[in-house]
Every structure is written in structure tokens, then in C-alpha cells.
Chain A
């Protein structure tokens, strides 16, 4: 099952710049104890953000919490990403387990 995250952002400056979302960038649901999955970017995204404009980008994401319910609703970007590479949902869930 594929999931998408739509990010709407505004460039507050008078110049264009590039914005990068690294592979594995984590987005968290906003509500504690909601039981909804948090998600990670399925690949790296780089896009241009034109000066003073509001744009929306849609990115493919994978779930990081195997036992929680499907992701939906409002999310935050976080300060961290998944620390290992992955190619699909199964591999990501496998990474997100305690190291033996």
C-alpha cells in the first residue's frame, strides 16, 4: 500500500532556492497516542521553491511503525531521518526494530 504526503510551503524570501527532502526523512503525526503511523520519505526529493510563492509538493512515503494504524491527517516534519538505507516497506519495518 502506497502513501503520499502533501507538503504546502511558502518561500518567505525574494529569491528562489532549492529544497531537499532526504530519503528516510521522518514526518510525525501531530497527536500523541493517536495510534497512527509516522512516515518516512521513500526516496530523496529536490525541488525549486520560487521567491515569495506558496507551492505544494507530493512525496511518496513509507510507514515506520508496523503495529500502528494507517497514516492520515496532519503531520510535522522532524529533525531526523531513518539511519539506514531501505528499498521497500518490508525493509523499512525490518530496520525499525531493536538491534539484537
Chain B
């Protein structure tokens, strides 16, 4: 039964890696960016898979030095088993959980396997370091006061295709963080596009501010955006159907 369980975990976790690689190819073709959280999950998969596959071997090595206890694992081994058996699956793990595991790889109970490699030419310690590097990008949470930076401006645009490129630049200062599921730039860009079509597509395009697009800042307390800003909640996902 154990090998079936291990095989299933491996199969599913490898799915995360393959999905990442498929998305990477697809997004390269479409010139889109892979999200930081996708990259973090991709790297975490290697730590997860290595420990799931080598758990028993690691325990055996740890216990080979356990001379003091008879008939039971040492506290250190029990701690290791507890951590590995409760590792969150890459497809469901929250980013905070992944960082905690990466910390254990760099300087905790999982450090003993720091130099091991799995499928890629990076050891687990280097994989953990990659995760920390990527985390820096996630931690940049935009502040609401930045919202005032959106100012209407005009730009000469000669082709409709140019609009998306110029709009991206025009609204670049608007706070946005896809990893935290908070933003507004794309809603502004899309809505401004519709306004532009209503008032006629000519060479001179106006990039409108919030008020001109019939939006108003959410200022009430305990709203989703305020709770995210105050770090009281994290958004796992928002899906529309």
C-alpha cells in the first residue's frame, strides 16, 4: 500500500512541475509572464518530492546514530517524520507554508539533506534559496495611497494594437500585485479602452483617471482590500464563472 501512496503523491506533484513547464512554453509563445507563485510552487515541488521519496532512507540514516533509545525513534527522527508527513502538497500549499519549509531546508530539521538533488541541477538548499529570492517579489504589497498617482494624460496612438502597450505604461504606477490578488490596473486599462471606443477611436487617446472612468476608491473599513493591506487576510483565489 505504501508504494501506491508514494507513487500517487509523486504522480500528482510531478503534475505541478509538468503544468509549470507547459505554462512556461505557452506563455513564452504569448509573451506573458509566469506568476511568481507558480515559480515558487515549481521549486517547492522538488523539495516535496525528494523528501516524500527518501523519507524512509533518511529515517534509517538518522536512526543509525541513535544509540540511546531502544524500541522507538529519537526525538529528532520523530520531528523529521512529523514534518515530512505533513508537508503540504505543492498544488495546495499556501506560499507562507512553502517559505516555512524552505527555512527548514536552509537551517532546520530538513537541512541534513541540503545537498541532495532531484531532477534538476540544483541542490535542495539552492532550491530553497530560489524560493526566498522569489518571495521578495511577493512581499511588495502596494499601498493604497499610491492610488492618487493615476493622472489622466493624452497620447498619440496610430494603431489600436498600440493602445495596450501605451495603456500598460500609462497606468504602470497604479498599485497592483497579482500574487496577493489585489490590483486595478487591468480594470482601468480595459474600461478606458471602452470609453475610448465610445468617444471615437482617433489618433489621440486619453488615459483617464479613476473618477473619469466612473470609479471611486473603496474607503470603508473591513473591506477586502483594507483587510489585505492590513495583513489580516490572505486571498487564496478569486475565480469568476
Contact = CB atoms under 8 A, between A and B. Distances in A.
Interface stretch (B46-54, B64-72, B122-130, B229-237): B229-237
A42 interface: no
Nearest to A92: B214
Given A22-B223, A38-B191, A96-B214, A79 B144 contact: yes
Given A10-B233, A20-B223, A82 B215 contact: yes
A72 B235 CA distance: 18
Interface residues of B, number: 50
Given A77-B224, A83-B211, A12 B234 contact: yes
Most buried by A among B175, B194, B214, B234: B214
A7 to B, nearest CB: 5
Given A30-B178, A39-B240, A78 B183 contact: yes
Q: Is the interface of B mostly helix, strand, loop or mixed?
A: mixed
Contact of B168 (A12, A32, A72, A99): A32
B187 interface: yes
Interface in B201-241: 210-211, 214-218, 220-225, 227-228, 231-241
Interface string A35-73: 001110000000001000010000001001111100111
A61 B241 CA distance: 10
Contacts of A8: 235-238
Contacts of B227: 17, 19
B45 interface: no
B100 interface: no
Given A22-B220, A29-B186, A84-B214, A4 B241 contact: yes
B164 interface: yes
Contacts, number: 176
B186 A31 contact: yes
A82 B175 CA distance: 18
B181 interface: yes
A77 B184 CA distance: 7
Interface string A1-25: 0011111111111000111111001
B32 interface: yes
Interface in B96-115: none
B197 A4 contact: no
B238 A76 contact: yes
Contacts of A77: 181-183, 224-225, 228, 235, 238
A39 B241 CA distance: 11
B239 A20 contact: no
Interface of B: 32, 94, 144, 147, 164, 168, 175-176, 178, 181-187, 189-191, 194-195, 197-199, 210-211, 214-218, 220-225, 227-228, 231-241
9 contacts: A7-B224, A9-B234, A12-B231, A65-B191, A78-B183, A79-B144, A79-B182, A80-B210, A95-B214
Given A22-B223, A76-B181, A80-B147, 16 more contacts: A5-B238, A10-B233, A28-B186, A31-B32, A54-B236, A67-B197, A71-B241, A77-B183, A77-B225, A78-B183, A78-B187, A79-B175, A95-B214, A96-B191, A97-B194, A98-B198
